[in-house]
A and B are shown apart, each in its own frame.
Chain A
Amino acid sequence: MSNLIFDSVTKIFGEGSSKYVALENINFEAESGQLILVVGPSGSGKTTFLTIAGGLQTPTNGDVKINDSTINSLSKKQQTKLRLEKIGFVLQSYNLVPFLTVEEQFKFVDKLKSQNLTEQKMHELLSDLGLLELLKKYPNQLSGGQKQRVAIARALYTDPDYILADEPTAALDTDRSMKVIELLRDLAHKRNKIIIVVTHDLRLKDMADKVYQIIDGKMTILEK
């Protein structure tokens, strides 16, 4: 059973008159098998929350714990390793390496992790996501929905405990957005992952197990 905990996390940018509180005293907990939505308007602190959860930034105050280990006290190198092994990122854009085919995106992960799961796991994942016919295509030959599904498959390929998704539906129409969120929810439930989706799209909130709202750096839980 994995967990992700924010313990009184505050993030402040700048100093003096340019001081800006991006996150204020955030307490948050996620457990395996949950799809969690973090919603809020632009500039509310959603992405800051996500990047701190992924070890890309350190909080000014408070601790972020993954499986009870504090990640903000790890070195940069350890944080990079943690991201490679435990966390999968799904981003709005630039998520796929533009000069690698879909198949090569997975082979690249194999090279990085010195593993060779390509044949077994990649085919299983892509088949689950209906992407098998896209193996030889480059990202610029895929539609927005296909790119996002490949990105999700790629994030899952390393079998991470957590998937952090930043506006994964921003470039998609309603129908495709719903399908992507459904897919993420199924992955959370069937594969027992923690999936945190940051979005400003309130249409998706019915699909989530928990919904948090961030406004002006303050987080509250929303009743569904």
Chain B
Amino acid sequence: MFLAIKEMLHEKLRYSLIVALIFLVSYLLIILTGLATGLANLNKAAINEWDASSIVLNSDSEGRLQQSFLSQDEVASLPNNGTRISQYSTLVKSENGLKENAQLVALDSKSFIFKKLKITSGSKNIRNNAGVVSDKFKSDGFKIGDYLLVANSSLRIKITGFTPRATLSALPVVYISPDTIQSLNKGVTNAVVFKNTLNNSKIPKGTNQLSIGSFINKLPGYSAQQLTFNFMIGFLYIIILIVISIFLYILTVQKLPNLGVLKAQGVSTQYLVLSTLFQSFIMSVIGVIIAIILGEITAITLPSEVPIVIDKSNIIVTGIGIIIMSLLGALIPIRQIAKVDPYKIIGG
């Protein structure tokens, strides 16, 4: 790839401009992907932590937890290895005036979900109006031992521990016991979550089993939000393809006489094609690396309210995606190279 590298080093400005364009689009792509992941996590992080396979809800709930109410008979006829979930959205305040919109989620302390909960500080205790809360409360100033005053009720929940990645529909979760939530929702069970998928014969009439993936997709606004991001991300990939294609095409057209002479001198078309592909690869790798570094710096410097997550899988998928698009973008210039007839260049 001697020719490719020498050309790029000699034509620094031209190739730097293309790298700059790839970097800008890649940076935007990484930020958007990070935001899409961050927002998705805000919606579903708690559900992912449950590590469950399926959820049984009321048939008329359209897969939404808040709209689902299971009767005692329905709950009783389900296998008893599931975790009964009661959910209540509300505003909670601390005694010193801190406020937070939250999802109260009640479950049994012997359930598999509660057993799996990780604690970053404090203890895992939800008895006697105690609660294990999302560590977002901690970053917002709440401490172990603080009381959460539930709006429009006299319920006070004592914070005993903080748990990571506990957000549901973009709100932090407060895990409490079924006894504690009784005064707020009269003991209604909204859903039963299972570690495995149930045989259809075990699903009582009037209820519906959803996989956890389907349940997440039915979270309010989740699918619309992800589709919007995916559309923007897809469009940016197309922009990268077009940008690379146009720039390499222009560069190739400008050097057609040289390419013709090189062919006349015995340089194979394959060598020239590989040289162009290599240039495209190198430019996209440099652009992506700069974009990843600046993306990480951006993610660190953005306020914590911005839900951006740039993780390893995002970086790998985005990086490979951009490099593939760049290589595809080199296909049109490659066609030009293959078509160059040295006779026409020499013969004038």
Interface residues, chain A, CB within 8 Å of chain B? 47-48, 50-51, 54, 56-57, 77, 80-85, 87-89, 91, 93-95, 97-100, 104, 107-108, 111-112, 138, 166
Nearest Cβ distance between residue B163 and chain A, in whole angstroms? 60
B37-48 CB contact bits vs A (8 Å, 1 = yes)? 000000000000
Q: Return the chain A residue nearest B347 by Cβ.
A: A47
Contact of B347 among A51, A84, A97 (CB under 8 A): A51
List A contacts of B265 (CB < 8 A): 83-84, 88-89
A80 & B263 in contact (Cβ 8 Å cutoff): yes
The reply to whether A56 and B346 contact each other, CB–CB distance below 8 Å, is yes
Q: Closest residue of chain B to A110, judged by CB?
A: B2
When distances are taken between beta carbons in the complex, the residues of chain A under 8 Å from B2 are: 107-108, 111
Question: Are A91 and B346 in contact, CB atoms less than 8 angstroms apart?
Answer: yes
Residues of B near A77 (CB, < 8 A) are 268
Residues of A within 8 A of B235 (CB): none
Q: Which residues of B contact A89 (CB under 8 A)?
A: 261, 264-265, 346
A sample of 7 cross-chain residue pairs with beta-carbon separation below 8 angstroms, ordered by A number, consists of A56-B342, A80-B266, A94-B260, A97-B3, A97-B258, A100-B6, A108-B3
Residues on B with C-beta less than 8 A from A95 are 261
Q: Give the residues in chain A near B266, CB-CB below 8 Å.
A: 80-85, 87, 112
A58 CB to closest chain B CB, in angstroms? 10
Q: State in angstroms the CA–CA spacing of A84 and B346 once bound together.
A: 17
A20 CA / B261 CA spacing, docked (Å): 25
Q: Is B10 an interface residue (CB 8 A)?
A: yes
Residues of A within 8 A of B262 (CB): 97
Bound form: Cα–Cα A166–B260 in Å: 14
Q: Give the residues in chain A near B348, CB-CB below 8 Å.
A: 47
B-side interface mostly: helix
- Using A81-B266, A89-B265, A99-B10 as known contacts, say yes or no to A112 and B271 having CB atoms under 8 A apart: yes
A137 to chain B, nearest CB (A): 13
Taking the complex as formed, is B253 at the interface, i.e. its CB lies under 8 A from any CB of chain A?
A: no
Count the B residues whose beta carbon is within 8 Å of the partner chain — how many? Answer: 26
CB of B280 to closest CB in A, whole Å:
17
Interface presence of B305 (CB below 8 A): no
Q: Is the CB of A48 within 8 A of B346?
A: no
Question: Nearest CB to that of B263 among chain A residues?
Answer: A80
**Which chain A residues border B343 with CB–CB below 8 Å?**
51, 56-57
User: In the complex, A93 Cα to B11 Cα: how many Å?
Assistant: 20
Contacts of B271 in A (CB 8 A): 112
Which of A47, A81, A138 interacts with B346 by CB under 8 Å? A47
Contact A80:B3 (CB < 8 A) given known A51-B343, A51-B347, A57-B343: no
Q: How far is the CA of A95 from the CA of B261 in the complex (A)?
A: 7
Q: Which 10 A-B pairs have the closest CB atoms?
A: A84-B266, A99-B10, A83-B266, A56-B343, A94-B257, A111-B2, A94-B261, A51-B343, A99-B7, A47-B347
A100: which B residues are within 8 A, CB to CB?
3, 6, 10
> In the complex, how many angstroms separate the beta carbon of A157 from the nearest chain B beta carbon?
11
Q: Which of B252-283 contact A (CB under 8 A)?
A: 257-258, 260-269, 271
Provide the residues of chain A in CB contact with B258, threshold 8 Å. 94, 97-98
Task: Report yes or no: B11 in contact with A99, Cβ–Cβ below 8 A.
Answer: yes
Residue contact B264 to A56, C-beta cutoff 8 Å = yes
Considering the complex, give the chain B residue whose CB is closest to the CB of A98: B258
B7 and A54 contact, CB distance less than 8 A: no
Which residues of B have CB within 8 Å of A51? 342-343, 346-347
Give the residues in chain B near A81, CB-CB below 8 Å: 266
Residues in A with CB closer than 8 Å to B6 are: 99-100, 104, 108
Q: How far is the CB of B14 from chain A (nearest CB, A)?
A: 11
| A residues in contact with B317, CB < 8 Å | none
Q: B51 to nearest A CB, angstroms?
A: 56
Least Cβ–Cβ distance between B277 and chain A, in angstroms: 17
Contact A48 B347 (CB under 8 A): yes
Cα–Cα, bound, A50→B343 (Å): 10
Whether A54 lies near B347 (C-beta < 8 A) is no
B345 at the interface (CB under 8 A from A): yes
Of B2, B257, B265, B346, most A-chain CB atoms within 10 Å: B265
Docked-complex contact A84 and B267, CB < 8 angstroms: yes
Interface string of B126-143 (1 = CB under 8 A from A): 000000000000000000
Considering the chains assembled together, what is the distance between the CA atoms of A97 and B7 in angstroms?
Answer: 9
Contact check, A166 vs B346: say whether CB atoms are below 8 A apart. yes
Please, how many angstroms separate the alpha-carbon atoms of A104 and B7 in the complex? 11
Q: How far is the CA of A51 from the CA of B346 in the complex (A)?
A: 8
User: Which chain B residue lies CB-closest to A93?
Assistant: B257
